[in-house]
Amino acid sequence: MTSTTSPTWWRGAVVYQIYVRSFADSGTRGVAGVGDLPGITSRLPYLRDLGVDAVWITPFYTSPQNDHGYDVADYRDVDDLFGTLTDADDLVAEAHDLGLKVIVDLVPNHTSSEHEWFRAALAAGPGSPERARYLFRDGRGEDGAEPPNNWPSVFGGPAWTRVPDGQWYLNLFDSTQPDLDWRNPEVGDMFVDVLRFWLDRDVDGFRVDVAHGLYKEESLRDQVVEDGASADEPKESMVSRTVRDEPMWDQPEVHDVYRRWHDVLAEYDGDRMNVAEAWTQTPESMAKFVRSEEMSQAFNFSWLLADWSAEAFADVITGTFAALADVDASPTWVLSNHDVIRHVTRYGGGQAGLSRARAATLTMLALPGSSYLYQGEELGLEQVDVAPEDRQDPSWFRTGEVGRDGCRVPIPWSGTSAPYGFGPGDDQPWIPQPDDWAPLTAEAQTGDEDSTLEFYRRALAARRTLSPADGVDVSVEGDLLTVTRGDLRVVLNCGDADVELPAGDVVLTSGPVSDRLPADTAVWLR
Ligand code: NOJ
């Protein structure tokens, strides 16, 4: 397997995801206890020192915050909660001064129900051009009282909401997130303007939300649900699904959008990029999003979804490179984000979970391509068991199932009790932090060579010594995964027992190593 040698910055970048509400509160904008843009700016030196190349910032646009910003009411402004357009400009300028790129989130599948287009659609009534920007339909059954089809919302319940005049509109997520009709050219034109608005403000790229979702099968036919599966059963996570027939996702027309956006990005200097959040059913269909005239990258959730086994990790690496080979795209790797259970917890939690998390991270960081990190993973944070009265995920309100709040708890910076330096004073954050986070603050971990934070700093520095030109070879022997890249050999022990440390000079380890390589540990050797 060879990797490409393109100098394009994003092909090998480490991108740090900032969940804006939960990163840092400057205390000067919006509401105390909610992170904001000046808070991010003030912490950029921490990220430079951590050793990342870029930040991806989740949506900070005007929004009623029903899905914490993924419900955008104005794509061209900053919500008062987070600051102002000037704050956004300052953030981008400061990041660039520090050598960091800035990727912003773009949410094109749906708007907020408070977007001016949707308000106009409600006011204008059935058959109007205003309604034609969304997917309004008459219902089925007597008096149209049944939804137009059987599609489920990703957040639970039906994907349709009825309005007082009797029509229904499609919302694949929350009912406050009406889906746009991308077959209406006005929609595409609007988003090109939005792209230009932020490109003109000097952002380096876009993370494209629900990139596989913009077009729906034109008939809006029922989804075929196989025996044993249920169209509205709770999803394992945002990134894995069980029903195979999907007329609402991954339609061929969506690629025209990304070809158009490719041309827009190419008009700007500085290698502007985009990365698709596209949950496709197969690696081959994922690869279509990153053909050379389309998007720069797509998230590869298979690393995140893989079982803890050498075989599974090897299959993911091999399968990823095989799928991308024909399109000459660079892979991406990710273990955590704001939609999934933090990987320390996925791997069992406690010390064992942390050991596995660090080992998986060290292995991932050796792979050619980009790695996306999620804020707080460098501190070894676990998923928090958020009390029912503190949960705020819209899927919790729609289904009563524990949602994604547990990975969104504001991160601890310093001090010995909440809010752990999250804001300037004692105001408590929008989701309460656990009592036992004092040893996990960035301050407490700094200088402690055994800490997860210092481990990440070492690993990111060592990663810079890898040659982008080197591809990888993968082999499995029992529970041992070996990844060879140039003169680097990474060995990951997924078994229960320690094994003899393979020969070579130890560059870096994910945990303590002697002449034996313990279980749940990875080592870089030269
Ligand atoms: C994916 C985002 O990551 C998630 O947080 C959001 O709820 C949905 N898209 C809907 O925009």
The DSSP-derived string for 245-269 is --TTS--TTHHHHHHHHHHHHHTSS
DSSP letter assigned to residue 29: S
Residue 247 CA to residue 251 CA, distance in Å, equals 8
Q: How far is the CA of 341 from the centre of ligand 1 (A)?
A: 14
Residue 164 CA to residue 524 CA, distance in Å, equals 62
Residue 411 CA to residue 378 CA, distance in Å, equals 11
Active site residues: 209, 267
Ligand 1 contact via 299 beta carbon (within 6 Å): no
Q: How far is the CA of 524 from the centre of ligand 1 (A)?
A: 35
Establish whether the linkage from the previous residue to 247 is cis, with ω within 30° of 0: no
How many CB atoms lie under 10 A from the CB of residue 228?
Answer: 6
Ligand 1 pocket, mutate which of 104, 304, 338, 339 (most atoms under 8 A from CB): 339
pLDDT tens for each residue of the chain, 526 residues long: 544 445 699 999 999 999 999 999 999 999 999 999 999 999 999 999 999 999 999 999 999 999 999 999 999 999 999 999 999 999 999 999 999 999 999 999 999 999 999 999 999 999 999 999 999 999 999 999 999 999 999 999 999 999 999 999 999 999 999 999 999 999 999 999 999 999 999 999 999 999 999 999 999 999 998 766 555 554 445 667 777 899 999 999 999 999 999 999 999 999 999 999 998 888 788 999 999 999 999 999 999 999 999 999 999 999 999 999 989 899 999 999 999 999 999 999 999 999 999 999 999 999 999 999 999 999 999 999 999 999 999 999 998 999 999 999 999 999 999 999 999 999 999 999 999 999 999 999 999 999 999 999 999 999 999 998 888 999 999 999 999 999 999 999 999 999 999 999 999 999 999 999 999 999 999 9
Q: How far is the CA of 209 from the centre of ligand 1 (A)?
A: 6
CB burial of residue 61 (10 Å; 0-12, 13-18, 19+): buried
Ligand 1 contact via 339 beta carbon (within 6 Å): yes
Ligand 1 pocket, mutate which of 60, 238, 404 (most atoms under 8 A from CB): 238
Q: CA triplet 383, 389, 395: central angle to 5 degrees?
A: 65
Angle between helices 254-266 and 185-200 in degrees, nearest 10: 30
CA 306 to each of CA 240, 284, 345, 363: distance values in angstroms, whole numbers, following the listed order: 11, 18, 14, 13
According to the model, what pLDDT value does residue 248 have? 96
Tokens of 361: 């991270």
Ligand 1 contact via 405 beta carbon (within 6 Å): no
Helix (H, G, I), strand (E, B) or coil at 91: helix
How many helices (H) and strands (E) in the chain? 14, 20
The dihedral over CA atoms of 260, 262, 267, 272, expressed in degrees to the nearest 10, equals: 150
According to the model, what pLDDT value does residue 234 have? 45
* Residue 41 near residue 82 (C-beta atoms within 8 A): no
Q: How far is the CA of 70 from the centre of ligand 1 (A)?
A: 6
Residue 375 CA to residue 277 CA, distance in Å, equals 18
Question: Could you please report the per-residue DSSP string of 231-244?
Answer: TTSPPSBTTB----
Residue 406 CA to residue 36 CA, distance in Å, equals 20
Residue 315 CA to residue 322 CA, distance in Å, equals 10
Give the closest residue (by CA) to ligand 1 atom 2. Answer: 209
- Closest by Cα among 357, 311, 234, 322 to 1: 322
Q: How many residues does the chain have?
A: 526
Helix (H, G, I), strand (E, B) or coil at 90: helix
According to the model, what pLDDT value does residue 231 have? 55
Report, in angstroms and rounded to the nearest whole number, the Rg of the chain calculated over CA atoms: 23
Looking at the CA of residue 210, tell me the nearest atom of ligand 1: 9
Residue 127 CA to residue 436 CA, distance in Å, equals 57
Looking at the CA of residue 110, tell me the nearest atom of ligand 1: 11
Burial code (b: 16+ CB inside 10 Å, e: under 16) for 426-445 equals ebebbbbbbeebbebbbebb
- Closest by Cα among 16, 2, 1 to 370: 16
Tokens of 374: 């999620």
Residue 201 CA to residue 85 CA, distance in Å, equals 9
Give the closest residue (by CA) to ligand 1 atom 3. Answer: 339
Give the closest residue (by CA) to ligand 1 atom 6. Answer: 70
Ligand 1 contact via 182 beta carbon (within 6 Å): no
* Residue 15 near residue 53 (C-beta atoms within 8 A): yes
Q: How far is the CA of 238 from the centre of ligand 1 (A)?
A: 8
Ligand 1 contact via 173 beta carbon (within 6 Å): yes
Give the closest residue (by CA) to ligand 1 atom 8. Answer: 70
Q: How far is the CA of 364 from the centre of ligand 1 (A)?
A: 24
Residue 360 CA to residue 347 CA, distance in Å, equals 10
Question: Could you please report the per-residue DSSP string of 74-87?
Answer: EEEEE-TTT--HHH
Reported as half-sphere exposure (CB side, CA atoms, 13 A), residue 294 has a value of 23
How many CB atoms lie under 10 A from the CB of residue 141?
Answer: 8
Give the closest residue (by CA) to ligand 1 atom 5. Answer: 339
- Closest by Cα among 294, 52, 88, 83 to 200: 88
CA 307 to chain CA mean position, Å: 20
**Residue spans of alpha helices (H) in 146-233:** 185-200
Ligand 1 contact via 70 beta carbon (within 6 Å): yes
Q: How far is the CA of 249 from the centre of ligand 1 (A)?
A: 14
Ligand 1 contact via 67 beta carbon (within 6 Å): yes
Give the closest residue (by CA) to ligand 1 atom 11. Answer: 70
* Residue 121 near residue 115 (C-beta atoms within 8 A): no
According to the model, what pLDDT value does residue 5 have? 43
